[in-house]
Structure 1
Amino acid sequence: MIKKSALTFFFLAGTLLLTSCGLGAATSSGEAAVSAANIDDIDLPTGVEIDFWHIQATVYGEAITEMVQEFNATNEWGIVVNESFKGSYQELNQAVRASLAGGGAPDVSMAYENDVLEYVANDVIVPLDAYLDSDQFGVSKDDFADLVDGVLARQQVDAYKGLTLSWPHGNSSMGLYYNADLFETAGIDGPPTSWDEFLDQARQLKDTTGLAYSAMGPAKNGIYYNMLRSKGITPFDAVAATTEFTSPESIESLELLAALFKDELVYTATDTEQEFTNERTATEIGTTARTSTKIDQIGDKFEWSVALTPQETDEPITQLFGGNHVILASGEPEQELAAWLFMRWFADTDAQSIYAARTGYSPAVKSALDTALLSADYGENPQKADAFKSVFVNAQIMPPTAAGNAIDDMVTGVLEEVVLGWVTPQEAAERMDAEAASLLQASPQN
């Protein structure tokens, strides 16, 4: 592992300099290849202070503060966690890059898989396998089995080449919120089960109530990816550097988006939640993390719930959201062990029940559902229970790649041209295919 003071070499002007080393540096260096026995020989991290950077504000940030205070007050080693809000995921990623180049990097940071692959390409991340296997500080087989399948899978994705590079923070999924009262008024029986039915319902709602069916945010790449995956299509293959953007399923999805906006059945809004909670739309496609805020904002104004987005295969799938925790290398074994102990605690039953009860996130571990705290919360707020049981258990991440952030930005821009009518679905598909393939080929994974 590389000490933070030596990291300036890898970062130029605050922008990550991707190297061609892939996962090699993180797996082949003697210092990084520690064993569980080495971990058990590390001195206990008594009184160690660690810095934890995250993206959580409002009720989510309040939950983080509560949890950090709980850990600081109860952990047996006297570890002190200093938590710091860093804005959006993009702003957090930028802050981490700058800190690694200039000093003062955090010990633990939230990160998406694409961010993880950027960091590991530059040998600045600590693999967790030795900690997980440790007799003294590890995770048992029962604890592994307790993790929700999709959550565990995202810590050990194929792109990590056999390593575990992150551990759970909080997770949510892409669901479809619907106003049951407006549906009843429009003669709609329930949420759509296919994208054709989604379009039919949108037209029916417009004809009967004059309202738009849904509002979509400026970044529509997540909804587009969800459409593809619900049709059994994975948008791209990071290893082969190929895409499915010109597939028939993709063209169908782009045509649907174009038609929805052309006929004013949906519209773009910065805050789609406000459009839904104020009854300007009948549905919202968005993260289930917002169930808690909707409960507060809607109150008893109308009946509502959350369901899976439309599905067109026998195996339901939706997007899995939420950052994980990673350890950024400091070269200080006690410091890194303290970081791991905090991360392990955060993903355990009691901590996850606090996080899920205080927010709209779903717990990473199934055992949290049996705690008195979360059982009572889900009993009082059935929409949160529906989000877990109907949506979250079917969630999986997108295939991660170090080029993922750039691909997302590109797809977002092209989709906006589609909904504005500036390019045809076919033209958009061909552009996305060419540009994404080029980005994937230039990725450190290839």
Structure 2
Amino acid sequence: MKTRIPALAAVTTAALLLAGCSGGTTTGGGSGEDLAASINDVTTEQLNGTKIEFAHFFGNCDDEVGDNTDLANAVGECATLTTLMNKFNADNEFGITVERLGGAAWDSFYDQLNASIAGGTPPDVTVMHGQSLPDYAERNLLLPLDDIAEAADIDLSDALPVEQEAVQSDGVTYAVPFDYHAALAHVNVDIFKEAGLVDADGNPKLPTSEAEFLADAAKVKQTTGKEFLAIPRVSDNLGWHFVNSMIMQQGSSILSDDLSSGNLDSTEAKTAIELEDALVDGGYTDGNQTYDAANQSFINGDVAMLYNGTWVVNTLVDTAPFNYQAHTFPNLYGEPNGWANQHTWAIPVQKDQNPVKYRAALEFISYLYANDVAWALGTGHIAARTSVLDSAEYQNAPQRANYASTAADATVTLPHIQNWPAVEKIAVQSVESIWFQDADIDEALTNGNGQIDAALGG
């Protein structure tokens, strides 16, 4: 289901300790309570020398990071995660060694994960988007954690309620949360100032309606000759995320209220696509940019605003050669909604059901959850834990105050249903057929909606 993060002041720690939700859970091997007991009983001596592999889509920067364990020197997703791995290997009391599997890019990661599962050689630990977790959990491909988490001191009472939901399927916990990430407005304040779009303090005045958005785009173009917005949409889903965000800002969704059928052919979806078309047709955005091209145009000072995620905040703080600010993306249609998702860490079910390997994997994901603050500070992602969000260290980090409301009340997470990845793929293909294949908008949305209904079993 779609879930709004409550205002941070209202978040309580009365949430669950990871226990008791599942009763006697079972894994794909059918070992259930006996396996849980074996994992809980693993000793430090048994763990000594255990090697595990983990898979992720955050890139390979081993050559750059080396054996660094100083998190203060880590900027960005790959460097921060690699440093955390190095630090765990150096500091853990169990003698566990974690090795990163050579990974696929984010857009092919799940294909590679699926292939490894089908071949009987899944990684010991894998990153998992919140939206993807039900697909794997409901096929018994992930190890349930409720009956074993206490052994590794995993307590989710500090996690945001939406994060607790993201790591569960049918009331069973299958992962630990790592972040809440969303698309932001990355702003070149110098261009906004040149266009007269700043307040008395020199901060950007972001539009509050579709009409203002298009008027500001025209003003930037006329006064500076620059484009207003860079949206990566060639070989990237951010173009779709922009459309989906605009659908949600109209109080709608690409699914019915009960999540059982499609709503892609709605008036709201057409309005969102037509807004992006207007940006392209007006020369306010380049509709044919890849992810790298869009980012480079922003860094080069050729565009006033970049539509991209929380994950680039720290990198842009370090590299932008102009006055840079990150903000919650403008609310143009009345509902303060936008695309968001979660990164989590899960333990795939293994054929040999080795309790020692499982326990080693559990200790590693516990370490990552405990170091959520390092990940949030090193990347720009929104922390998964209330204690981190409330800390002065986090609140005083660069740019965080500008998009704190994104975590509080300005985004909606993706539907937490088994077939969501297939549904989103259909939506992306339908919208991209309009952009790149000149498909009729009504026909494309109607056909896509039928495919969504079929994917949901309708």
Q: TM-score range by the shorter chain?
A: 0.7 to 0.9
User: How far did residue 126 of structure 1 move?
Assistant: 0.8
Gaps of 5+ in 1: 1-24
Counterpart in 2 of 1:199? 214
Residue 223 of structure 2 corresponds to 208
Counterpart of 2:97 (choices 80, 98, 108) is: 80
Q: Distance in 1 between matches of 2:365 and 2:374?
A: 15
Q: Which residue of 2 aligns with 1:183?
A: 192
Q: CA deviation at 1:86?
A: 0.6
| 1:311 CA drift (Å) | 5.0
Counting only pairs closer than 5 Å after superposition, residues 405-416 of structure 1 correspond to structure 2 as 405-416=421-432
Contact 2:317-2:398 at 8 Å conserved across structures: no
In the alignment, which residue of structure 2 is the partner of 1:46?
47
**Contact 2:143–2:349 (CA<8 Å) still a contact in 1?**
yes
Q: CA RMSD in A?
A: 2.9
Q: In 1, distance between residues paired with 2:118 and 2:433?
A: 36
Shift of 1:102: 2.6
- Of 413-422 and 99-108, deviating more is 413-422
C-alpha deviation, 1:307, in angstroms: 2.5
Counterparts of residues 120-269 of structure 1 (less than 5 Å): 120-132=137-149, 134=150, 136-140=151-155, 144-156=156-168, 160-189=169-198, 190-217=205-232, 218=234, 219=237, 220-237=239-256, 240-268=259-287, 269=289
Change (3 A) 1:95 1:85: same
Q: Which residue of 111, 114, 123 maps to 1:106?
A: 123
Q: Is 2:375 aligned against 1:362?
A: no
* 1:302 aligns to 2:330 (yes or no): no
Instruction: State the number of aligned residues.
Output: 401
* Cα shift at 1:27: 7.2
Q: Given that residues 131 and 138 in structure 1 are in contact (C-alpha distance below 8 angstroms), is that contact kept between their aligned partners in structure 2?
A: no
- 1:295-444 aligned at under 5 Å gives the runs 295-299=317-321, 301-313=322-334, 316-330=336-350, 331-348=353-370, 351-369=371-389, 374-375=393-394, 379=396, 382-387=398-403, 389-394=404-409, 395-420=411-436, 422-441=438-457
Shift of 1:42: 4.3
Q: Deviations over 1:74-98 (max 9, x none)?
A: 2222222112341323332222222
Structure 1 counterpart of 2:80: 63
Asked if 2 retains the 8 angstrom alpha-carbon contact of 1:56 and 1:85, the reply is no
Change (3 A) 1:335 1:182: same
Residues 175 and 280 of structure 1: CA distance in aligned 2, closer, same or farther (over 3 Å)? same
TM-score by length of structure 1 reads 0.80
Q: Name the structure with the higher helix share.
A: 1
Q: What CA deviation, in whole Å up to 9, does each residue of 1:84-123 have, x standing for no partner?
A: 3413233322222222233432110112245433333432
Distance across 1 between alignment mates of 2:243 and 2:224: 27
Structure 2 CA distance for partners of 1:396 and 1:35, relative to 1, 3 Å: farther
Give the partner amino acid of 1:319: W
Distance 1:178 1:428 in 2: 33
Match of 1:119 in 2: 136
The equivalent of 1:14 in structure 2 is: none
The residue type equivalent to 1:40 in the other structure is: N
* CA displacement 1:42-88 (0-9 Å, x = unmatched): 44552222111111225422222211122122222222211234132
The 1:66/1:27 distance shift into structure 2, 3 A limit, reads: closer
Provide the rounded CA distance (Å) in 2 between the counterparts of 1:274 and 1:432: 33
Q: Spell out, residue by residue over 1:194-219, the C-alpha distance to the aligned partner (whole angstroms, 9 max, x if none).
A: 33322222122223223221121123
Unaligned stretches of 5+ residues in structure 2: 1-24, 62-75, 199-204
In structure 2, distance between residues paired with 1:30 and 1:84: 27
Identity in percent: 23
Match of residue 285 from structure 1: 307
Contact 2:58-2:106 within 8 A present in 1 as well: no
**In 1, Cα distance between equivalents of 2:162 and 2:132:** 18
Correspondence 1:274 to 2:276 = no
The amino acid that maps onto 2:452 is A
Instruction: State the distance in 1 between where 2:160 and 2:441 align.
Output: 37
Given that 1:180 and 1:304 are in contact with CA atoms closer than 8 Å, whether structure 2 keeps it comes out as yes
Encode CA deviations 1:373-429: one digit per residue, 9 max, x unaligned: x45xx64x5324433x13233444211444333333332233233335823432332
Asked if the contact 1:311–1:317 (Cα under 8 Å) also holds between the matched residues in 2, the reply is no
* TM-score (normalizing by structure 2): 0.78
